[in-house]
Structure 1
Amino acid sequence: MSCLCVLIFLLLLLHPVNLRFMNHRVPSNCRYQPTEYEHAANCATHALWIIPSILGSSMLHVLSDNQWETISAWIYGFGLTGLFIVSTIFHTISWKKRHLRVVEHCLHMFDRMVIYFFIAASYAPWLNLRELGPWASHMRWLIWIMASVGTIYVFFFHERYKLVELVCYVIMGFFPAVVVLSMPNTDGLSELMAGGVFYCLGTVFFKSDGRIPFAHAIWHLFVATGAGIHYYAIWRYLYRPDTLEGKTSR
């Protein structure tokens, strides 16, 4: 479904009327102002996933067999649902309450910050529930330090160096993957890589506002697809009742 929506959006690029769906591109030090259509798409493409993410996170909690599985389910659930909720609130305020500039600015910063914690939370079940080597085990806390550093960066340099911000997201997304790929149990790694591919492809649209109509909404769709693939991998290989391999006793 997500891929079909992306295809429809891309086809709009070939039609002359696509200009009404997109405003002109702005300088790198300014924020792009979406059209009414783009605002609506930005809200809808993440709001639709709030309820599924809450239900999915609750299912992992129910399937938890021990304390570490419960903790990991909570961390992952908060990161997943938090991403969609914060994004939806920010885009709604940006669209409907444009006079609340201070609130909108703070929510925009929060929207960027939560991405770092979403990345960390997405890795938490794998790092907490799979066997790791002596060095690799440090990634369990190192990834949260990376998320905290990213948050501090957004606080001081929000929207100032957009390319640097994008590079930070990509580095944080790939760095823990080195540890995960080295785990003795490789079940689920193909799904992890597939989800990572969607995130990487989506970054093409993340900074394409003003060049591609609905660029940010398309980015949202790639994020939702990548998150869905990663959720499936976590459910199937770490929490499903008949999947016992790879779980470690704490």
Structure 2
Amino acid sequence: IQQLQEFMNHRVPSNCRYQPTEYEHAANCATHAFWILPSILGSSILYILSDDQWETISAWIYGFGLSSLFIVSTIFHTISWKKRHLRTVEHCLHMFDRMVIYFFIAASYAPWLNLRELGPWASHMRWIIWIMASIGTVYVFFFHERYKLVELVCYVIMGFFPALVILSMPNRDGLLELVAGGFFYCLGMVFFKSDGRIPFAHAIWHLFVAMGAGIHYYAIWRYLYQPGALDTKTSPR
């Protein structure tokens, strides 16, 4: 790491934003821009494979959340890198970037909650998760960058709490992939909080996000949208 010190700036206080180097800015943009087209194509595939209204709705919600994550992140990092004099625009995009994460988490659960049979108590998670996303969005609007640890905890809670509904699903196909994807997200958080300690830490976090999202997409495609999975699904009532 010592040999790579020129590629990163010093760590900043908790109440300040880390300023990436030129190399890190470029990496931050590239590591999410690369996945924009695949996310759009993947979402389109799910839409094409949809056989009923709820599959179509779920494909739209999930696809919009997945694509928005990479598009908004790329736009924010590009503006932050190339248009540093647009501080107000950059600040708004940074907030939007954080808000989109809540929407992405909710959208990632939507196909499972909408298309799988759930237990009586677990069915409420279909709307609870969107309330959680709304609360997270409001939190970012009022407390953006003030309490970074609290924000991280909010992401973790929203990421794992809805997963408990899997325990109520009679059909648990895809559980291994969901756990594997969650593992990559959790491991990536180490780098998410390592700016100024590890060169290209944020870009590495982006790669872990892409890997986690890719695994979860595979699980949705295989276990919810393939013809062999049709008999194991049910629409919300």
* TM-score normalised by the chain length of structure 1: 0.93
Following TM superposition, by how much is the alpha carbon of 1:207 offset from its aligned partner in structure 2, in angstroms? 1.2
| Matching of residue 218 in structure 1 with residue 192 in structure 2 | no
Q: Match for 1:41 among 10, 21, 27?
A: 27
Kindly report which structure 2 residues correspond to 1:90-239, keeping only aligned pairs within 5 A, or say none. Answer: 90-239=76-225
Cα distance in 2 for residues equivalent to 1:243 and 1:114: 30
| Superposed CA offset, 1:26-68 (max 9, x none) | 0000000000000000000000000000000000000000000
Cα distance between partner residues in 2 of 1:119 and 1:202: 15
3-state SS in 1 of match to 2:117: coil
1:190-227 CA distance string (max 9 Å, x none): 00000000000000111110011000000000000000
Root-mean-square deviation (CA, aligned residues, Å) is 0.8
What are the superposed Cα offsets for residues 160-201 of structure 1, whole Å, 9 maximum, x if unpaired? 000000000000000000012331101001000000000000
- 1:88 corresponds to which residue? 74
Give how far 1:246 is off.
2.1
Q: Is the 8 A contact 2:28 2:203 kept in 1?
A: yes
Q: Which residue of 2 aligns with 1:18?
A: 4
Deviation at 1:243?
Answer: 2.4
Task: Measure, in 1, the Cα distance between the counterparts of 2:167 and 2:40.
Answer: 28
Question: CA–CA distance in 2 between the matches of 1:246 and 1:54?
Answer: 26
Same amino acid, percent of matched pairs: 86
Distance in 1 of aligned mates of 2:31 and 2:168? 34
Distance 1:81 1:225 in 2: 14
Give the residue type in structure 1 aligned to 2:112.
W
Q: Output the amino acid matched with 1:223.
A: V
What aligned pairs does 1:64-75 form with structure 2 within 5 A after superposition?
64-75=50-61
Deviation at 1:249, TM superposition (A): 4.3
Q: List alignment gaps of at least 5 residues for structure 1.
A: 1-12
How far apart, CA to CA, are the structure 1 residues paired with 2:180 and 2:9? 33
In 2, distance between residues paired with 1:127 and 1:105?
A: 34
Gaps of 5+ in 2: none
Taking structure 2 as the reference length, what is the TM-score of the superposition?
Answer: 0.98
Residue aligning to 1:9? none
Identify the residue that residue 10 of structure 1 maps to in structure 2.
Answer: none
What is the aligned partner in structure 2 of residue 29 from structure 1? 15
Query: Alignment partner of 2:229: what SS?
Result: coil
